[in-house]
Structure 1
Amino acid sequence: IGKSLRKFIEIGQADYTPMLLSEIPRIFKSGQMHLDTALIQVSPPDRYGYCSFGINVDIVKSITEAADKVVAEINPNMPRTLGNSFIHIDDIDAFIITNHDIIEFSYGEPDEVSKRIAKFVASLVEDESTIQMGIGQIPNAVTDELIDKKDLGVHSEVFSDGVVNLVENGVITCKKKTIHKDKIICSFVMGSRRLYDFVCDNPMVEFHPSEYCNDPYIISQNHKQVAINAALTV
């Protein structure tokens, strides 16, 4: 639950239904939540007619499969990402062509406390681990402290610019992963244009829907899986 929603839940103006992100697509596909229209943003179609969901496959692919109608914004600035991240133009009921920048995101420079926490966390990550990074300044700051590790892999719902640095420095190779060897697996990314350029047509990076990427059974098969997340309270 995001900060902006908590106050509304506390005063009874919003409802909260606890569930795993990997379970949300089932709500759509089972008909428990009927979807009239899916509004999505995709890359232009390739020569075979396939558009990419770009930086956000997440639950978007499942939404398009469950909705009565699919309306797409086709944006040439949307990166063409690989994996299970495509929709055919014939499955889009209506579209509009736009040309605007993809929204960028930054966690900002971590403060000294965050940096110190990140150092402690990074010290617990062994070489050859498969890492998952949650959303937040501290999980993102941990990537800066992993620069001396060897042969890390990534299986994470989301990642940001820090992963690009680790790939370029030979820290993340994914060579020791037990599933999806040599591949970074994710569901969406949040970061700068540099990150978006990195994932565009990059065969090292595969995007998958959340029901796969966040499936505990799939995650459990990873070699030395390490989850790095932030807590609301301790």
Structure 2
Amino acid sequence: MPSATGTTSTKTTRRPIRTLVLVTVAGAAATAASAGLGLGSGPTKTAQADPGDTVLPIGSSQLVQSEDLVSIEVPLDTAKVILNRNDDFSSCLGEGNPWTAVLQGADKPVTVSWTSRRNANQGLTESIAQAKTPAEARSYAKTLVAEAIGGCQGSKSDWDFHYGKTTSSPVGTGTATWALSYTGDSKRADGGVIVFSKGNNFGIMHVTGTWAPAGQTMESLAKVAVGRLA
């Protein structure tokens, strides 16, 4: 994967999940079906699908859904989706590092922000995108692990938060890597980050707040995130 832009030496401050504007694109959810048309006086021929063409367009249906959160008892109830988001997306990377700068050559992602009407300190933001090949998707995911997790691991005095050790696991035909987040010198996790990929698709999820036990919640979110990818 192309290298990411460098991080600054200034203090990295975790930013709260932003309020995103719901964006709709006319016809974006439509499914295209094609049929061959006969030419001249010959018989009409029906177009046949290429058996190797199994990549589906990425879309909001491949983001984590409300029923997924209910199934793992994560009480978030308000979602806002934005298409082609390309602003800062990682607390670890800091300001001035948008998606296409960190993941050079990648398409802009589809993003959802989940929040809670009962607890303003709980939420998650998930961004997913599609690569040209599974190998490219894995490469983008590797960069996200290195830059958006590894860059903020370990306890350092000039950060107001840090990530703990990473855990990686296969999930069906996909894979996920996640780490818990800690504020200051606290030993209690208050969120985390997950990087995942499956086939041509990949993504990242930032979690704010915890639902005990934190490690189990992150693993469950990792599984549903990978499961949603086509």
TM-score band, normalised by the shorter chain?
under 0.3
| Structure (1/2) with the larger strand percentage | 2
| Structure (1/2) with the larger helix percentage | 1
TM-score relative to the length of structure 1: 0.24
TM-score relative to the length of structure 2: 0.24
Larger Rg: 2
